[in-house]
Amino acid sequence: MCITAASAHLTSTKILSFQKENGEVFLAYQNEVMNESGKNAMILPIPGKIKTLYDTSKYNTFLDTITLRTKISEEYNYGVLSGRGGMTRGMSKSLSIEQKKVGMYNIVYSALMTDLEEVCKLEDVKITPELLSFFNTHYKNFGFICCLFSSKYKMSAQPIAFDYEPINKEHIFFPTMDSHDGSAPKHTSVRLDHKISTLMNEGKLIEGEKDYPDFLKNKMFGTYDLHFSDDNGDLYFNLNQKKAPNLKRQFKVIK
């Protein structure tokens, strides 16, 4: 469940997102991908300045382990908002492009979607004008991670993991906006197929595992297994909100 430049089938999305002690946010993303086009790209909008992209080859199963071991009941949660971007303001733009190979993906990222559009053209991946307009309109002041791929076979992708400096420090962001055919996401109901995890006092302790980066060890995580239909949008945990009685009731569209 994400946004792709061309037709693809994506399932079993796992996202871990939490605020680190230094104020930056760690976000890890993984899914199963069946490409239905030639060359393609998965694009993740990020509400802040992308700082560090991790090489997850030494711990490529950590998201599977966390989501399996830390599943909690939906009644224990902080409350979630869903929306279409536009929650943040004031990000300084940079024309630089960063690039790294992570598993099946060739990843490029920048503060400007127009820069990534040029890189995609060089890789024979076309971002439609409709989709480009959506990114520029609904994700103003966001950064973008573009994951290029071309495999014709179904793959369980290696996790993408990075730190970013958030603009809005009151929310933890989960990129769940959905469109898999190259068109702009529609304001409609979609079927969620996500496991989302974050730091949580009521969560379960993940002790020192060999295949984890150090900053994930000995932390309390909680994971929600989301399988219901709701408005298309991204998810946000409000760090200042008390736990809510039911996760699904906390979905609200931010226009």
Q: 72: buried, middle or exposed (CB in 10 Å: 19+, 13-18, 0-12)?
A: middle
This prediction's pTM: 0.82
Phi (first) and psi of residue 67, to 5 degrees: -65, -30
- Looking at residue 144, its pLDDT comes to 93
Residue 200 has pLDDT above 60, yes or no: yes
Write the pLDDT tens digit of every residue in 105-132.
Answer: 788 888 888 888 888 888 888 899 999 9
How many domains, the chain? 1
Query: What single-letter amino acid sits at 168?
Result: N
Given the DSSP bridges, would you call strands 229-231 and 189-191 parallel, antiparallel or unpaired?
A: antiparallel
d(CA 27, CA 170): 15
Residue linked to tokens 């303001």: 89
Phi (first) and psi of residue 47, to 5 degrees: -80, 65
d(CA 5, CA 130): 11
Write the pLDDT tens digit of every residue in 129-177.
Answer: 999 999 988 898 899 999 888 766 566 667 899 999 998 888 889 998 8
Q: Which domain holds residue 178?
A: 3-254
Rounded to 5°, angle at Cα 176 from 89 and 152: 125
For 204-241, b where at least 16 C-beta lie within 10 A, e where not — what string? eebeebeebeeebeebebbbbebeeebebbbbbbeeee
Domain CATH number, residue 147? 2.60.250
